[in-house]
């Protein structure tokens, strides 16, 4: 069976015949396409196709596959529709910049050079001069645009009731703006702003971000974040938090809001020391589990957490204890050996304590806590792969617009990652697809033959690659 699919490129609409057939070799249905031409009358199926005998002059050879894959995939997912609703005429430029960030990360000032070698210059005819990019960041960084995006996006994204992961990172910079302040993060003091991410635990998709002055302690950011989450209608289900958020005020807040939570207990808390002192039998076979190829010990204890019952899980990693103990002993001097707390410092090596407001299955404690790693991986990806750092903006609106662009690129990355599965990475897919070239003629583009790998990638994301398309 066959049907006609229509695509808009520039100001024209093009028609393709899509033919479905059964592939006996892989025992799956497949599709192939045939270019019909420019649409003249859609109702009567009248199309105009250049005469074959007409000699065509080749004008350019461009990268085709990477931007075409992203464009068609995000179109199918409905994500580009969300961008159009929020950003209107700026959608083409936003998509071009997020594609640049994912396919060829680099400074924004080089985006125009990349654009000139990619088919995206015909998919979205936009100007990528430094001035135009600066203007765009200010436009999309307006407070009402920022909030409208989250309103539309959160109605689109699948948000489970499985829980939320909250994490925060520092973005060092020397930009003179009110949010850039001296702050302490990861044992370093620097001029910085802070970026908070809220993720859906089940899907790993980012739901929301906030930026915070660098001098604000992590522990002080939870209450305002909860208030913002409420305004956007994100369900307060189960929070997974790092030790930086632990305080009596935050725990009481979560209890009063009836938000269930898991949080790591800081080692400087009296409760931490008491739990280690009371659980000397931790290395018992009855507390042993295997997780991620490691042998660990986990013991559950009921505790009083600021007036309410909670469950503490004392977790010992023997391999980590051995490494940390060795490093400590090699560095000890005579004065440290005589210190009063030396025995406790040795006892706590390799031990982590997490507290949950509800009782958990012992085997589920570590998978739940380490779901936090997704946020840390996204922060690393944004900083290293998307080149979030260094910030090259000088106004709050520009900064908010730039962070929003990075956030949109993270969403696109994760949507594609989910569809590709575990056998093909996003980086591998985009690099392989980039090698699919296209020859540009006067009125149309002829796409080169695909390799086996490229065909596998496009089939994974259910995108059909035409042999010929118009411009």
Give residue-wise pLDDT tens across range 39-50: 777 776 777 765
- Give the global pTM: 0.81
Domains of the chain: 1-47 (no CATH), 50-140+403-470 (no CATH), 144-392 (3.90.350.10)
The predicted structure's pLDDT at residue 67: 95
Query: With the C-alpha atoms ordered 15, 21, 27, 28, is the resulting torsion angle positive or negative?
Result: positive
pLDDT over threshold 50, residue 80: yes
- The Cα–Cα gap between 248 and 270 comes to 13
Specify the higher pLDDT residue, 19 or 102.
102
Give residue-wise pLDDT tens across range 161-171: 678 999 988 87
Q: Are residues 229 and 236 in contact, defined by beta-carbon separation less than 8 angstroms?
A: yes
pLDDT over threshold 50, residue 238: yes
Helix (H, G, I), strand (E, B) or coil at 303: strand
Give the H or E element holding residue 439. strand 437-440
The predicted structure's pLDDT at residue 224: 92
Residue 8 CA to its chain's centroid (Å):
29
Give residue-wise pLDDT tens across range 360-419: 998 999 999 988 888 888 888 887 777 665 556 567 778 888 889 999 999 999 999 999
The structure tokens listed for 378 are 């996204």
Residues written for the chain: 471
What is the pairing mode between strands 164-172 and 238-241?
Answer: parallel
Residue 328: which residues within 8 A CB-CB, separation 6 or more?
Answer: 345, 346, 349
Give residue-wise pLDDT tens across range 179-236: 554 555 555 655 678 888 999 988 888 999 988 887 788 899 999 999 988 888 887 6
pLDDT over threshold 70, residue 245: yes
Mean pLDDT of 346-361: 94
The CA-CA-CA angle for residues 113, 117, 121, to 5°, reads: 90
C-alpha torsion 317→319→322→325, nearest 10:
-50
Of 357, 159, 349, 350, the C-alpha closest to 260 is 357
The predicted structure's pLDDT at residue 424: 93
Between the alpha carbon of residue 402 and those of residues 48, 269, 408, the distances in Å are 43, 39, 10
Give the H or E element holding residue 153. helix 143-156
The count of C-alpha atoms lying within 13 angstroms of the C-alpha of 238, restricted to the half-sphere facing its C-beta, is 17
Mean pLDDT of 237-261: 93
What is the pairing mode between strands 2-9 and 12-23?
Answer: antiparallel
In sequence order, the β-bridge partners of residue 4 are 17
Give residue-wise pLDDT tens across range 410-457: 999 999 999 999 899 999 999 999 999 999 887 788 899 999 999 999
pLDDT over threshold 90, residue 60: no
- The Cα–Cα gap between 36 and 45 comes to 10
Mean pLDDT of 344-353: 92
- The Cα–Cα gap between 3 and 19 comes to 7
The predicted structure's pLDDT at residue 55: 45
Q: Are residues 100 and 409 in contact, defined by beta-carbon separation less than 8 angstroms?
A: no
Helix (H, G, I), strand (E, B) or coil at 406: helix
Q: Are residues 355 and 240 in contact, defined by beta-carbon separation less than 8 angstroms?
A: no
The predicted structure's pLDDT at residue 341: 83
The predicted structure's pLDDT at residue 448: 92
Q: Give the rounded percent of residues in the chain with a pLDDT score beyond 70.
A: 88
- The Cα–Cα gap between 349 and 329 comes to 12
The structure tokens listed for 29 are 């249905």
Residue 76: which residues within 8 A CB-CB, separation 6 or more?
Answer: 461, 462, 463
Mean pLDDT of 105-129: 90
The predicted structure's pLDDT at residue 6: 76
Residue 200: which residues within 8 A CB-CB, separation 6 or more?
Answer: 157, 158, 159, 160, 162, 164, 165, 207
Mean pLDDT score of the chain, rounded to an integer? 85
The count of C-alpha atoms lying within 13 angstroms of the C-alpha of 278, restricted to the half-sphere facing its C-beta, is 14
The predicted structure's pLDDT at residue 232: 85
């Amino acid at each position: 069976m066959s049907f006609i699919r229509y695509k808009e490129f520039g100001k024209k609409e093009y028609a393709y015949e899509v033919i479905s057939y059964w592939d006996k070799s892989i025992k799956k249905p497949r599709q192939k396409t045939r270019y019909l031409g420019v649409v003249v009358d859609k109702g009567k199926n009248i199309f105009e196709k250049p005469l074959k005998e007409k000699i065509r002059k080749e004008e350019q050879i461009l990268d085709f596959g990477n931007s075409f894959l992203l464009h068609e995939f995000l179109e199918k997912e409905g994500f580009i529709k969300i961008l159009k609703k929020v950003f209107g005429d700026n959608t083409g430029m936003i998509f071009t910049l997020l594609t640049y960030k994912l396919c060829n990360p680099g400074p924004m000032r080089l985006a125009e050079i990349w654009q000139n070698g990619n088919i995206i210059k015909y998919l979205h005819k936009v100007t990528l001069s430094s001035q135009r990019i600066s203007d765009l960041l200010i436009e999309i960084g307006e407070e009402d645009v920022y909030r409208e995006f989250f309103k539309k996006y959160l109605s689109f994204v699948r948000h489970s009731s499985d829980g939320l992961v909250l994490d925060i990172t520092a973005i060092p910079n020397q930009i003179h703006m009110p949010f850039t302040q001296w702050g302490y993060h990861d044992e370093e003091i620097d001029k910085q702003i802070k970026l908070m991410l809220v993720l859906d635990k089940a899907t790993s998709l980012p739901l929301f971000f906030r930026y915070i002055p660098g001098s604000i302690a992590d522990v002080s950011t939870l209450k305002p974040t909860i208030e913002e989450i409420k305004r956007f209608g994100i369900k307060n289900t189960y929070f997974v938090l790092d030790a930086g958020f632990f305080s009596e005020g935050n725990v009481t807040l979560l209890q009063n809001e009836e938000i269930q939570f898991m949080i790591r207990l800081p080692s400087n808390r009296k409760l931490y020391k008491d739990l280690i002192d009371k659980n000397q039998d931790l290395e018992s076979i009855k507390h042993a589990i295997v997780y991620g190829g490691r042998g660990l010990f986990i013991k559950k204890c009921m505790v009083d957490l600021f007036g309410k019952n909670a469950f503490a899980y004392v977790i010992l990693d023997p391999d980590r204890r051995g490494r940390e103990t060795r490093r400590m002993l090699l560095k000890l001097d005579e004065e440290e050996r005589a210190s009063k707390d030396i025995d406790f410092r040795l006892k706590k090596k390799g031990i982590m304590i997490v507290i949950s407001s509800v009782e958990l299955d012992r085997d589920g404690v570590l998978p739940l806590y380490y779901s936090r790693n997704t946020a840390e991986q996204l922060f690393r990806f944004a900083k290293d792969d998307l080149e979030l750092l260094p910030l090259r903006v000088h106004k709050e609106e520009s900064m908010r617009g730039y962070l929003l662009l990075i956030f949109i690129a993270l969403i696109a990355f994760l949507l594609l990652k989910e569809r590709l599965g575990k056998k093909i990475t996003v980086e591998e897919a985009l690099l392989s697809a980039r090698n699919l070239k296209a020859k540009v003629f006067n009125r149309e583009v002829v796409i080169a033959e695909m390799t086996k790998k490229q065909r596998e990638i496009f089939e994974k994301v259910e995108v059909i690659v035409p042999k010929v398309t118009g411009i």
